[in-house]
Amino acid sequence: MFLTVASGTHPRPLPRGPHRLAREIIEASQRGRLLDAIAEVVAEKGYAAATVADVIAHAGVSRRTFYEYFRDKEDCFLAAYDTGVEVLLETVRQAGEGIADPLERTRARVRAYLATLAAEPAFARTFEIEIAAAGPRAQVRRRQVYERFAEVGRQDATEARRAVPGLPEPPEEVYLAAVGATDAVVSSWVADGRVAELTDLEPVVLHIQLALVAGIVLPARL
List, for residues 152-185, the tens digit of each pLDDT value.
999 999 998 888 888 888 899 999 999 999 999 9
Residue 215 carries which DSSP code? -
The domain that contains 40 carries what CATH number? 1.10.10.60
Q: Does 12 score more than 50 pLDDT?
A: no
Q: What confidence tens digit (pLDDT) does each residue in 114-165 have? A: 999 999 999 999 889 999 999 999 999 999 999 999 999 999 999 988 888 8
Q: Do 149 and 195 fall within a single domain?
A: yes
Report how far apart the first and last C-alpha atoms of the chain are (Å, whole number).
33
CA atoms within 13 A on the CB side of 147: 6
**Domain count of the fold of the chain:** 2
Assess whether 23 and 79 both reside in one domain. Answer: no
Q: What percent of the chain has pLDDT over 90?
A: 73
The pLDDT of residue 9 is 41
172 and 199 part of one domain: yes
50: exposed, middle or buried (C-beta count within 10 Å: 0-12, 13-18, 19+)? buried
Q: Say yes or no: 25 and 86 in one domain.
A: no
Do 26 and 125 fall within a single domain? no
Query: According to the model, what pLDDT value does residue 27 have?
Result: 58
Domain end (from 72, 104, 129): 72
> Which of 38, 72, 106 corresponds to the end of one domain?
72
Asked if 3 contacts 32 with a C-beta cutoff of 8 angstroms, the reply is: yes
What is the value of pTM for the model shown?
Answer: 0.85
> Do 89 and 177 contact (CB within 8 A), yes or no?
no
Q: Domain range for residue 64? A: 2-72
Cβ-contact 32, 9 below 8 angstroms? yes
CATH number, residue 152: 1.10.357.10
With cut-offs at 50, 70 and 90, classify the pLDDT of residue 3.
low
Q: For residue 64, name the pLDDT band (cuts at 50, 70, 90).
A: very high
